[in-house]
Copies of this chain bind each other. A is one copy, B any other.
Amino acid sequence: MVVILKENPDKQQLNKLVKWLESLHLKTHLSEGAQQSILGVIGDTSVVDIELIQALDIVEDVKRIQEPYKNANRKFHPADTVIDLGTCKIGGGNFALIAGPCSIESEEQILGVARAVKAAGARVLRGGAFKPRTSPYAFQGLRDEGIKLLLEAKKATGLPVVTEIMDLSQLPLFDEVDIIQVGARNMQNFELLKALGRVRKPILLKRALAGTLQELLMSAEYIMAEGNEQIILCERGIRTFETYTRNTLDLSAVPALKTLSHLPVIVDPSHATGISRLVPPMALAATAAGADGLIIEVHNDPAHARCDGPQSLTPEAFADLSKRINHILEVR
């Protein structure tokens, strides 16, 4: 951490600051210049609340040098985290295809899609029961009933399942769910993150529309600080000025996150683009960029899907894409 001091800082206040930092087991070095002095702070600064220092009269600015996260940091945990679902693994060289409908609509639909995506190579089944929708008048998901149908599809196909939680009061319904998804809108729902830190199952944490990579890792840190270290990070597009696509898929997040952290990183090209014909090229690109998996929307009848139809692939298109992804995996 580097503290940039105002011109002619009050000596007494500076002394006080130095003593406080040293009481936190940090080392400080003062570099004095004619117009500007800086105080270098060395040690574990992740516990320091940067705003406390920023607010001091003698301080012009504070810049972090170390990342403010620890459990999620590759520097302190060099080996890749591997999520083991029994039937498949994610991370540490293991790639997993996750697929299924945006929302669960009926037994017939979820079972049909589950069988189709399994046959095409998917290793995990996705399906939304609780649906975050911008409008209160849009279909909100089958909720409890949806979870039940998803678990039936799990039984029928043997595929582990992932579905989204929207509020911590729903947690009891997720007992047999294999991976709990935290959606982009809840990336900074800190009470939910803390509760999921006390759960013992993998969490699929999606990046918020305006979430920086550092904030995504800090949200992972919230979960990990409570004891749950099984987290899968998911890039799903960020909000920018471009309106042609629903969001802008930030694929550089894949190698960046894998450098900064040991957690597996997957990509959701369906929500990122919002346009089914852009899903295959972005899925292939994400694979080439080094993603540990993909989560893709597949619907048996996209034109009549109750949500996100425009971005869903048919089972046939998914099967074709799955083959092309395998070709990339062989050469990447």
Q: Are A210 and B190 in contact (CB under 8 A)?
A: no
Q: Closest residue to A57 on the B side, CB-wise?
A: B303
Cβ–Cβ < 8 Å partners of A284 in chain B: 288-289, 332
Distance (Å) between the CB of A21 and the closest chain B CB?
13
A97 close to chain B: CB less than 8 A = no
A238 near B242: Cβ-Cβ < 8 Å: yes
Return the CB mask of A130-171 against B: 1 if under 8 Å, else 0: 001111111110000000000000000000000000111110
Interface residues on A, range: 35 or more
Complex: A87 Cα to B215 Cα, angstroms? 40
Q: Chain B nearest CB: distance from A298 CB in Å?
A: 14
Within 8 Å by CB of A38, from B42, B51, B312, lies B42
Say whether B245 contacts A256, CB under 8 Å. Answer: yes
> Hey, what's the 0/1 contact readout for A308-329 against B, CB within 8 Å counting as 1?
1110100000000000100110
Of the candidates A27, A168, A212, the one having the most CB atoms from chain B within 10 angstroms of its own CB is A212
Residues of B within 8 A of A330 (CB): 331
Interchain CB contact under 8 A, A309 and B248? no
Within the complex, which residue of B33, B192, B272, B289 is in contact with A42, where a contact is CB–CB below 8 Å? Answer: B33
Interface centre among A241, A245, A254, by most chain B C-beta atoms within 10 angstroms, is A241
User: A252 near B282 (CB under 8 angstroms)?
Assistant: yes
B38, B242, B285, B306: the one contacting A285 at CB < 8 Å is B285
Which B residue sits closest to A242, measured CB to CB? Answer: B212
B241 and A241 contact, CB distance less than 8 A: yes
Check A91 for interface membership: any CB of B closer than 8 A: no
Q: Quick check: A49 and B166 within 8 Å, CB to CB?
A: no
Residues of B within 8 A of A288 (CB): 281, 284-285, 287-288, 328
Instruction: Tell me which residues across on chain B come within 8 A of A61, comparing CB atoms.
Output: 65
Once bound together, how far apart are the Cα atoms of A134 and B46, in whole Å?
12
* A107 on the B face (CB < 8 A): no
Bound form: Cα–Cα A286–B170 in Å = 40
Interchain CB contact under 8 A, A168 and B166: no
CB contacts (< 8 Å) of A51 on chain B: these are 138, 305, 307-310
* CB proximity of A255 to chain B, nearest CB, Å: 4
Task: Given A51-B310, A240-B238, verify A190-B166 contact (CB < 8 Å).
Answer: yes
Q: Enumerate chain A interface residues (CB-CB to B < 8 A).
A: 2, 4, 27, 29, 31-34, 36-38, 40, 42-43, 46-47, 49, 51-52, 54-57, 61, 63, 65-66, 68-69, 132-140, 166-170, 185-186, 188-192, 194, 208-210, 212-215, 218, 221-222, 225, 238-245, 248-252, 254-256, 259, 272-273, 277-278, 281-282, 284-290, 302-310, 312, 324, 327-328, 330-332
| A-B contacts besides A46-B135, A281-B290, 18 pairs, CB < 8 Å | A2-B40, A49-B137, A49-B306, A61-B65, A69-B135, A135-B218, A136-B225, A189-B189, A210-B210, A212-B242, A214-B244, A240-B241, A244-B256, A248-B252, A251-B251, A252-B273, A284-B332, A331-B331
A-B contact pairs, 17 of them (CB 8 A): A46-B135, A51-B138, A51-B305, A51-B309, A55-B305, A56-B303, A68-B135, A135-B218, A136-B194, A166-B191, A185-B190, A212-B242, A214-B244, A248-B248, A281-B288, A284-B288, A324-B332
